[in-house]
Amino acid sequence: MTENSGVAHTVRDILAQDGDARAFHFKGKWYDWRWVNRFIDGLEAEIAKSGVADTESIGVAPRNGPDFAAALLSAIGQERQIVMIYAYQSPEAIAGRIRDLDLALVLLARSDCTDVVLQAAEQCGTAVVALSVEGSELILMGDGKTHHPAPPVAGIELLTSGTTGAPKHFLMTYPQLYRSMITENPTTTVSTTPGLHYYPFGNISGLYQLLPIVAVHRPVQMLDKFRVEDWVDYVATYKPPALGMPTAGYRMLLEAGVEDEPLSSLKYFLTGASALDPNTHDEFVARYGRPILQSYGATEFGGVVAQMTLEDHEKFSGAKVRSVGRPWHGARLRISDPETGAELPAGEIGRIDVISPRMSDDWIETTDLGLIDEDGFLYHHGRLDGAIMRGGFKVVPETISTTLTAHPAIAVAAALGMPDQRLGEVPVIAYEVRPEWAPPSEEELQKFLTDRLPKPSLPVRYLRMDRMPRTPSLKVDLGAVRRAFEAA
């Protein structure tokens, strides 16, 4: 059996479970595997009506739920080429993506089948199948033409978060997906206890919270999005020894004032692959008294390539709490000079480069800054491509944001560069105030930063936001922050 058939074999095994076995819990209801198979049969019948060939790429704009979990299992099991579209955006934005991608068929939540979206699909000759837990329906025929043929080795085109440049669609082939999520995933064990799913399906994290769990025949407790109360309820009910959450969830948990008692089963916490604010880390650990084990990864790496383990944390007596760990599953890491490409010695900050064997044997040059210490632990130090050039001075936005969140009144901050006629770029910063604090004045914040940062790093504008905008994966949406500054 080739790896290319491995993922299809895995899905067939998943779908062959006892029909009465629990599959997905969603919004208070369990859906069994008999329901999943019936849903897939209905979906495939509607796709067949469209006349779209198996060799065509199909677009999927998935919202978390058993309907799209079943749809993805169906497509992956047939090794159809999938192009992911984020559903958690405006109808106009979804319509724009449909026009840009020019696909033969898209699967949409029935709630996303708005007039503007259907008009865009009709203009492109794109067929539309609408999904809900009640079933699937072909609601728009396509033009029957060839649009976007699948490549020789099919897979899923996921939207990256920008680790290696601007966000873009990145093809993760089915052999790569099989190796990354099935054969190399040591974190999922056979159990009747449901796994928790809260990341959106449109990115790699959402797939990681689905495939490895169902591959070992575990049921899934699925959330339409991450909520502190749902996460806490899961911990209190199933009492796992460890559990992750989005990095933004740590601040949300602190702000919610969650007591330690419902979390008593947790011996440590895990993060996603994005950086956790150091001040949030310290406050969280001080309140709950357990370590947070961080990691580093990206879509382009096929997932995590560095992970802090409990063994390493204990071995070094917590001295590496800022680290995202050492290389994971055969990955290789180095720190390079971003100008010359020369490898830098231990302890120096530079560009993070990665070899992820599950994807290829080539070095991947990221746009992340970091250092590797003398013990081989990686530390993330922000983004290289986000550096602000202020009159010849290089300013790292993450340094400003991290410093401002050390102010007791600031929950979240996001710095970025805005055009300036004289200096080229200048830093600005948006921030969210903790609910229990009165908003500090701009003068107070400026003095706070002046006491801690060099002059070129001081923001020229401040913008207080009621809620910091977030991407579907709960990272701060810097594009939305920029637009807020432009509109202010």
pLDDT digits (tens, 9 = 90+) for 80-114: 999 999 888 889 989 999 999 999 999 999 999 99
Is residue 2 predicted with pLDDT exceeding 60? no
Q: Which of 4-18, 309-323, 387-401, 406-420 has the lowest mean pLDDT?
A: 387-401
pLDDT for position 412: 95
Instruction: Answer yes or no: do 167 and 46 share one domain.
Output: yes
Q: Summarize pLDDT for 326-356 with one digit per residue, the tens.
A: 999 899 999 999 889 999 999 999 999 999 9
**Mean pLDDT for the chain overall:** 92
**Spatial contact of 260 and 288, defined as CB atoms under 8 Å apart:** yes
* CATH for 54: 3.40.50.980
Q: Is there a single domain that holds both residue 277 and residue 231? A: yes
- Considering the domain architecture, whether residues 396 and 370 belong to the same structural domain is answered as no
Minimum mean pLDDT among 171-185, 274-288, 378-392, 437-451: which range?
A: 378-392
- Spatial strand order of the sheet with 29-32 comes to 29-32, 22-26, 220-222, 195-197
Is pLDDT at 472 greater than 90 in this prediction? no
- 450 token code pair: 């002046």
Alpha-carbon distance of 250 to 258, in angstroms, equals 11
Location of structure tokens 């637009």? 483
Does the residue 185 lie in any domain? Answer: no
Residue % of the chain over a pLDDT of 90: 75
Which residue in the block uniquely carries the two structure tokens 């708005």? Answer: 114
The reported pLDDT for the residue numbered 164 is 61
231/170 same-domain check:
no
Residue pLDDT, tens place only, 37-89: 999 999 999 999 999 999 999 999 999 999 999 999 999 999 999 999 988 88
Considering the domain architecture, whether residues 154 and 14 belong to the same structural domain is answered as yes
Same domain, 234 and 252: yes
Q: What is the pLDDT of residue 1?
A: 35
Question: Among the listed ranges 162-166, 299-303, 467-471, which one has the minimum average pLDDT value?
Answer: 162-166
Residue 274 has pLDDT above 80, yes or no: no
Q: 196-205, 229-238, 303-312, 384-393: which has the minimum mean pLDDT?
A: 384-393
- In a domain, residue 237? The reply is yes
Q: Report if residue 374 sits inside a domain.
A: yes
Whether residues 376 and 394 share a domain: the answer is: no
Looking at per-residue confidence, does 284 or 472 come out higher? Answer: 284
36-40, 301-305, 358-362: range with highest mean pLDDT:
36-40
From first CA to last CA, the distance across the chain in angstroms is 59
- Residue 204 maps to a domain: no
Last residue of a domain, one of 359, 382, 405: 382
pLDDT at position 190 is 67
Q: Would the pLDDT of 415 be above 80?
A: yes
* pLDDT value, residue 395: 84
431 and 453 belong to one structural domain? yes
Residues 21 and 158 in one domain: yes
Could you give the CA distance from residue 267 to residue 485 in angstroms, rounded to a whole number? 42
% of the chain surpassing 70 pLDDT: 96
pLDDT value at position 276?
84
Q: Nearest-CA neighbor of 92 among 115, 109, 74, 116?
A: 116
Least confident of 219-223, 404-408, 417-421: 417-421
Question: Do 54 and 164 belong together in one domain?
Answer: yes
Does 361 share its domain with 474? no
Per-residue pLDDT band for 162 (boundaries 50, 70, 90) equals low
- Please report which residue ranges of 51-201 form alpha helices under DSSP H: 66-77, 91-101, 115-124, 174-177
CA atoms within 13 A on the CB side of 51: 10
Extended beta strands in 141-264, E state: 155-159, 169-173, 195-197, 220-222, 242-245
| 411 domain residue, yes or no | yes
In which band, very low, low, confident or very high, does the pLDDT at 273 lie, cut at 50, 70 and 90? confident
pLDDT at 393 over 90: no
Residue 341's domain spans which residues?
Answer: 226-382
pLDDT above 70 for 142: yes
CATH, residue 276: 3.40.50.12780
Q: What is the pLDDT of residue 189?
A: 64
pLDDT over 80 at 213, yes or no? yes
Confidence at residue 3, expressed as pLDDT on a 0 to 100 scale: 46
Residue 45 · residue 38 · CB < 8 Å: no
pLDDT in tens, 6-48: 999 999 999 999 999 999 999 999 999 999 999 999 999 999 9
Residue 183 included in any domain: no
Q: Are residues 128 and 28 in the same domain?
A: yes
Confidence (pLDDT) at 88: 84
State the Cα angle at 368 between 367 and 369, rounded to 5°.
125
> What pLDDT, on a 0 to 100 scale, did the predictor assign at position 31?
98
CB 108 within 8 A of CB 75: no
What ranges make up the beta strands (E) of 347-444?
350-355, 364-372, 378-383, 388-390, 393-395, 410-420, 424-433
What Cα–Cα distance (Å) separates residue 356 from each residue in 124, 151, 364?
37, 22, 8
The encoded tokens of residue 274 equal 């994005």
Residue 191 covered by a domain = no
Residue pair 223/198 in contact (Cβ under 8 Å)? The answer is yes
Which of 175, 204, 235 corresponds to the end of one domain?
A: 175
Mean pLDDT of 274-281: 82
Domain tally, the chain: 3
What is the reported pLDDT for 125? 97
Q: Which of 338, 359, 382 is the last residue of a domain?
A: 382
In a domain, 216, yes or no: no
